[in-house]
Structure formats: structure tokens, C-alpha cells
Structure 1
Amino acid sequence: MIFRKWSARIRTEEADEYVGYIEETGAAHYAETKGNLGYQILLRDLGDGSSEISTISWWTDLDAVRRFAGDDYQVARYYPEDDQYLLERPEFVEHHEVRGSDLARFGG
């Protein structure tokens, strides 16, 4: 199993709106991609008017990640309106091979 994480900073006041946008774009594409095992959208208030937003997702293997992200799967995938929300635009995402998990205990 592969764990994929993307994070960036946004304005806290736009968090709800941006989460909705992610649900309509990236998260929807995660869910419809063969080999996606699920995702979550995380938000952390940094206390300075900005928040860190992350999407984390689980995939059966790197081939599934490539079906979502393309051959250059380590480069972050962005959508047309992302730039209006992002205070920073990281170029890369993280990938980790999952070696142990008890997510099945929670239905995952």
C-alpha cells in the first residue's frame, strides 16, 4: 500500500471554501481512480491567519498513483482555481510505502 501526502498553506478565512473546492476536484478524482483506497482532507490553524491544508490518500500501489497523477507522480497535481487560495504551491508530494497498519479495524 502507498500513502500519498500533499500539504500547502492557505488563508484561514478561506478554509471552508477551499476544502469544498478540493472535494470537487482532487478528492473526487482520487475516489474515481482505480486503486484508490480512500482519502482524508486535514486542516491545521497556524495561528497567524494561515492554515496548513493536507490531503492524504492511500493507494494499492504506485501504478494506481500514476493513474491519478501521471507518470511524474511525485509532482503535485493542481487544478485551475488552486492558485487563488494557496499562499504557497509546493512542487512535490510525499509517498511512503505502508509497512504496517490497523486501518482495517476502522473499516479501511
Structure 2
Amino acid sequence: MILRKWSARIRTAQAEEYVQYVEKTGAGHYAETEGNLGYQIVLRELGDGTSEISTISWWTDLDAVRRFAGHDYGVARYYPEDDQYLLDRPEFVEHHEVRVSDLTRLTG
């Protein structure tokens, strides 16, 4: 299993609006992609009027990630209105091979 993580900074005042936008765009495309096992959108306030937003998604393998992100899957994928919200636009995302996982307390 592969964990893919993307993070960027936004204005805290726009957090709820941007979370909804990400849910419709990137996260929506995750869910539509064969091999996606799920995702989360997480947020943390940084205390200076900005927040960090991250998407964390799980994939069966790198082929599934490529179906979402394309051949150069390490490069972040952006959508038309992202620039209205983002204070920075990281070029790359992280990928991690999941070696051990126990989410039984979360899923019942």
C-alpha cells in the first residue's frame, strides 16, 4: 500500500471554503480512480493567520497513483482555482510505502 501526502499553506479565514473545494476536486478525483483505498483532508492552524492543509490518500500500488497523477506522479497536481487560496504551491508530494497498518479502532 502507498500513502500519498500533499501539503500547502492557506489563509485560515479561507480554510472551510478551500477544504470544500479540495473535496470536490483532488479528493473527488482520488475517489474516482481505480486503486484508491481512501483519503483524508486534514487541517492545522499555524497561529499566524495561516493554516496548513494536507491531503493524505492511500493507494493499492504506484500504478494506481499513476492513474491519478500521471507518469511523473511525484509532481503535485493542481486545479484552476487553487491559486485563489494557496500561499505557497509546493511542486512535489510525498509517497511512502506502508509497511505496517492497524486502523481497526477507526473502522470498527
> Scaled by the length of structure 1, what TM-score is found?
0.97
> Which ranges of 4 or more aligned residues in structure 1 deviate by more than 4 Å?
none
Q: Which residue of 2 aligns with 1:5?
A: 5
SS at 2:40 equivalent: strand
RMSD: 1.1
Number of residue pairs aligned between Structure 1 and Structure 2: 108
Identical positions, percent: 82
Give the drift of 1:50: 0.2
Q: Which residue of 2 aligns with 1:75?
A: 75
Alignment of structure 1 residues 96-107 onto 2, 5 Å: 96-107=96-107
Give the drift of 1:97: 0.3
Q: Which residue of 1 aligns with 2:88?
A: 88
Q: Which residue of 2 aligns with 1:57?
A: 57
Q: Which residue of 2 aligns with 1:28?
A: 28
SS at 1:52 equivalent: strand
> Scaled by the length of structure 2, what TM-score is found?
0.97
SS at 2:10 equivalent: strand
Ranges in structure 1 where 5+ consecutive residues have no aligned partner: none
Give the drift of 1:104: 4.3
Give the drift of 1:106: 2.9
- CA 1:104–1:36 in structure 2 vs 1: closer, same or farther (change >3 Å)? farther
